[in-house]
Amino acid sequence: MSYDTKNIRNVALLGHSGSGKTSLAEAMLFEAKAISRKGTVVDKTTTSDYTNIEQERGNSIFSTLMHAKWKDSKINIIDTPGFDDFVGEVISSLKVADNAIVTVNARSGVEVGTELVWEYVEEFNTPALFVINHLDNEKADYDTSFEQLKARFGPKVLPLQYPINQGIGFNKIVDALRMIMYVFPDGGGKPEKHPIPEEEIGRAQAMHNQLVEAAAENDEGLMEKFFEEGSLSEKELTEGLRIALANQEIFPVFCCSAERNMGSGRIMGFINDIAPSPADRPAATLADGSELICDSSGQASIFIYKTLSEPRVGMLSYFKVYSGVIKGGDELYNTRTRNSERFNQLSISNGKQRDNVDELKAGDIGVTVKLKESRTNDTLSPKGQDRQIAPINFPASRFRTAVSPPSKNEMEKLMKALHQIQMEDPTLIIEQSKALKQTLLHGQGQLHLDIIKYRIEKVNNVSMDFIRPKISYRETITKTSNDSYRHKKQSGGSGQFAEVHMRIEPYFEGMTDPADLNVRKVEVEELPWGGKLVFAWCIVGGSIDAKYSNAIKKGVMQKMEEGPLTGSYCQDIRVSIYDGKMHPVDSNDMAFMLASANVFKTNFKQSRPQILEPIYNLEILCSDDVMGDVMGDLQTRRAIIQGMDAEGHYQKIKAKVPLVELYKYSSTLRSITQGRAKFTRSFAEFSAVTPEIQKQLISNYQSEMQEA
Sequence spans of domains, the chain: 5-191+250-280, 284-381, 400-467, 475-607, 612-693
In angstroms, rounded to a whole number, what is the distance separating the alpha carbons of residues 76 and 364?
8
Over 70: is that where the pLDDT of 229 sits? no
pTM exceeds 0.75: yes
Contact 7, 72 (CB under 8 A): yes
492: pLDDT confidence band, cut at 50, 70 and 90? low
Over 80: is that where the pLDDT of 405 sits? no
pLDDT for res 228: 60
Q: What is the pLDDT of residues 2-17, one digit of tens each?
A: 899 999 999 999 999 9
Strands 569-570 and 474-477 come out as: parallel
Hey, what CATH topology would domain 612-693 get? Answer: Alpha-Beta Plaits (3.30.70)
In angstroms, rounded to a whole number, what is the distance separating the alpha carbons of residues 577 and 368?
64
Over 90: is that where the pLDDT of 684 sits? yes
Over 80: is that where the pLDDT of 516 sits? yes
Query: Among 15-24, 315-324, 325-334, 487-496, where is mean pLDDT lowest?
Result: 487-496
Q: What is the pLDDT of residues 642-672, one digit of tens each?
A: 999 988 778 999 999 999 999 999 889 989 9
CATH architecture entry for 475-607: 2-Layer Sandwich (3.30)
Round the average pLDDT of the chain to a whole number and report it: 93
Over 90: is that where the pLDDT of 409 sits? no
Question: Which has more confidence, 324 or 677?
Answer: 324
CATH number belonging to the domain at 5-191+250-280, selected among 3.40.50.960, 3.40.50.300, 1.10.3720.10, 3.40.50.1820:
3.40.50.300
Query: Among 44-58, 82-96, 401-415, where is mean pLDDT lowest?
Result: 401-415
Mean pLDDT of 120-132: 96
Class of domain 284-381: mainly beta
Percent of the chain predicted with pLDDT > 70: 97
Mean pLDDT of 299-326: 94
Contact 188, 257 (CB under 8 A): yes
CATH number belonging to the domain at 400-467, selected among 3.60.21.10, 3.40.50.720, 3.40.50.300, 3.30.70.870:
3.30.70.870
Q: Do domains 400-467 and 612-693 have the same CATH topology?
A: yes
Provide the greatest CA pair distance for the chain: 112
In angstroms, rounded to a whole number, what is the distance separating the alpha carbons of residues 524 and 509?
11
pLDDT for res 406: 78
127: nearest Cα among 102, 93, 151, 104: 102
In angstroms, rounded to a whole number, what is the distance separating the alpha carbons of residues 404 and 414?
11
Q: What is the pLDDT of residues 135-191, one digit of tens each?
A: 999 999 999 999 999 999 999 999 999 999 999 999 999 999 999 999 999 888 899
